[in-house]
Amino acid sequence: MIFVDGSNLYHGLKSETGDTRVDFLRLGRKLAADDELHTTYYYNAPLIEKLNVQAYRAQQQFLEALKRTDGVILRLGRMQLTATGVLVEKGVDVLLAIDMLRHAYQNDYDTAILVSGDGDFAPLVAAVTGLGKRVKNVAFHSARSDALVDICHTFIELTPDFLQDCRP
């Protein structure tokens, strides 16, 4: 199973390649390699329409396309404005952690592929590996977390070359 921190991936794609488009079926197959790919979970939070109508509509088109993609399950948190006017994701990391742990306990996978450079997931990976599961970490070098790389069984670095055959 693949667990994609959508915001983390989006920002990495934008800063490292300038192209945020990804074919998630191709990417999933490439990341799974010789393992059977069961499901790809994609986590994000919908933008707030009134703050940027154009960005909201573009994201909605992307999320609708994801919903129609075989083998991909979309899980959404929410966006929230802080008192200082900063927009933050809420609930996204928790959804990912719950799903990864639940599926590990239910023995739904042997290997989890975590697409994120967020070091906050290191305790999650420790819990999943404690259940006898393998975890691959996938991230751009600039966004990778040493804490994640150190605790995961494998690290796959996303690069423009790696992603070349994963574009729509």
Note the pLDDT of residue 21.
92
Note the pLDDT of residue 131.
97
What phi and psi, each to the nearest 5 degrees, are found at residue 42?
A: -120, 125
In this structure, what CATH number is given to the domain that contains residue 74?
Answer: 3.40.50.1010
Residue ranges making up the domain that contains 81: 2-166
pLDDT at 15 over 90: yes
C-alpha dist (Å) from residue 123 to 16, 30, 120, 150: 27, 26, 7, 12
Angle at the Cα of 109 (from 154 to 140), degrees rounded to 5? 35
Per residue in 111-147, pLDDT (tens digit) is: 999 999 999 999 999 999 999 999 999 999 999 999 9
Number of domains into which the chain is organized: 1
Do the Cβ atoms of 4 and 40 come closer than 8 Å?
yes
Hey, how many other C-beta atoms are within 10 angstroms of the C-beta on 135? 23
Per residue in 61-115, pLDDT (tens digit) is: 999 999 999 999 999 999 998 999 889 999 999 999 999 999 999 999 999 999 9
Q: What is the pTM of this model?
A: 0.95
